[in-house]
Amino acid sequence: MVSVQNFTRSSIGQFEATISGAWPQELSGHIFVAAPYHQIGERHLFGGAGVTIRWDLAPQNGKVKLLCKRVNTWDSFWQDLLPLTWRQRAFFPARMSLFGIAEPANTGVVNMNGRLLLTADAGRYWEIDPVTLETITPVGYFDEHIISVPLSFFPMVANTAHPFYDPETGELISCELKCVPRPGQLFYDMISQVYITVWDGKGTLKHWELDGTRLDGSPHTIILTEECAMIPDMPFQMGLTTLMGLKVPPTNAYPHTQVYVVDRKDLTAANYKVPARLVTFPGDSYHFLCNYRHNDGNIQMVAVQQGTISLTQSLEPCDVMHFTGKPYSEEYWGIPWMFGFDPGVLRKVVIGDGQVIQEEAFIHPGWYSTMLYTADPREQFTASGYSAIYQGYSGYWRDFICRRQYLAFRDHPNRILTDQKLPTHNLPSVLARIPLAEDWKMLTEQLEKEQQEHPERELPSLGHEFLDFYVFPDHCLLDSIQYIPQGKGYIFTKVFAENHLEAWLFAADNLKNGPIAKLTLPDTVNFGFTLHSEYFEKLVSAPPSYRVDRVSCALRSLAKVPREFIFNQPDQVLNR
């Protein structure tokens, strides 16, 4: 069992990792990883300010160097100066004070043509210098953003942790939300108006409202093609009262994936509202892998799905382990409900003429908790698109499943397994390559047949004859993963290995043979539970041309934001 103390250890500084195995001598480039910075008193695993971790892949004397620095957002200065005034409400990431709401910037990484941005589902994006990892500037003054709550110096910006940089237009495309009361249900969490946000990297942000569109949950990501921008309504709730830690119950999320599709040609200066078509398909989706080019006019994507989890809920002092009834020790408090008690699902979806025209699911009976994924970025803008998705499954860890989580999802309509079919022991992490050209329904049926005919086989190992995957040892937990686009490709993974941190390198075309090399850090060094990552071929210092002035930002937050929020003048806020 992995030590949970390692989930919340945050080492800052420059370190060297020792290489074992056959690390490719020609390997170069850099991997940037986002993570929360954990401090004493944090009440949620994803609640800390952002940390930037850079792995320099070129080996030197049998070692690989890495650098880790905290993201110094402007609210973090006040958090360090007056820590008692900043509080996390309940067991959720939001941290608030009289100064406003903290900007975590701890979830996603964006490569904006060599510029490095760190992102989160709340707060502005922050530019980081790729060379020094110094915090440079936020993206936009607050009055340039859509504001959910006009609080003091740091009002709340609700957005997506995964904006999309389009190298063909030179634009960063995202979405932002504005909280509005739920009609007829004032004592439930709010819903959100939705806006597409575009930034050219140097000027003012521009916004377009999706006409007649409201979200129950969080978008978490924007999906982009050459012709469309798509906003998903995720099945986990991140409304205003949830973010603020108020004990107001969220409504149950719609049990299927909803995606609002906008034609990019409508995003013009002539209007500030655009029409959106609603597309619905089965499953609880959290991430998407989408081809940039349309194929015969159709959108092709993969939805990464996992039932029985909630990232906005976490273990609390009142919780007990579902399968044993034992209480949790304090070190578990704040770990999200991110380990499911149902197999993970990958769903291929084809959308044409504003509707789903084809979908098929891949389900492995021994692979649980779809977390992070990666793919070959060299394929993204080709006519044929992606050939495979590399999916990380964190596993089935019974001790992390509390009674509240079980009761919340026991009767969920998307649940695959009944209680009687749940494994009676933990199942390990898995890294798998799933080809997109294969018939996923047939693959799933083959796995079901093998399970029935060979009940003696270990569940995670089913399909070894026709799938390429690696089952991690029982004492390891797979975390962040990143494709390295060099040669035939490599998969870089971060692994919790008992009481220390390792990084394992796989050949992308041969996962089943295991890691070709490992990087081991000293036992005193750990970065906790890391999140998304991005590959940079080279390092270039952040350009000096774009900066948000700190004093001016504070004054504009106090003067302009409340006026625009209260009087709701879209011609002054949208599409400036």
Q: Are 349 and 355 in contact (CB under 8 A)?
A: no
Q: Are 339 and 370 in contact (CB under 8 A)?
A: no
User: Nearest Cα to 174, choosing from 125, 238, 129?
Assistant: 125
Q: d(Cα 418, Cα 451) in Å, to the nearest integer?
A: 16
> Residue written as tokens 């409304």?
239
Residue 146, CB half-sphere, CA atoms under 13 Å: how many? 28
Q: Which amino acid is at 448?
A: E
* CA distances in angstroms from 227 to 222, 224, 261, 299, listed in the order given: 14, 8, 10, 9
Those residues with Cβ within 8 angstroms of residue 51's Cβ, 6 or more apart along the chain or in another chain = 10, 12, 34, 35, 36, 37, 68, 69, 70, 71, 106, 527
Q: d(Cα 426, Cα 340) in Å, to the nearest integer?
A: 12
CA dihedral 472, 474, 475, 480 (to 10 degrees): 40
Those residues with Cβ within 8 angstroms of residue 569's Cβ, 6 or more apart along the chain or in another chain = none
The answer to the question of whether 162 is labelled as a binding residue is yes
User: Nearest Cα to 340, choosing from 295, 276, 286?
Assistant: 286
Q: From the annotation, which residues make up the binding site?
A: 162
Q: From the annotation, which residues make up the binding site for Fe cation?
A: 162
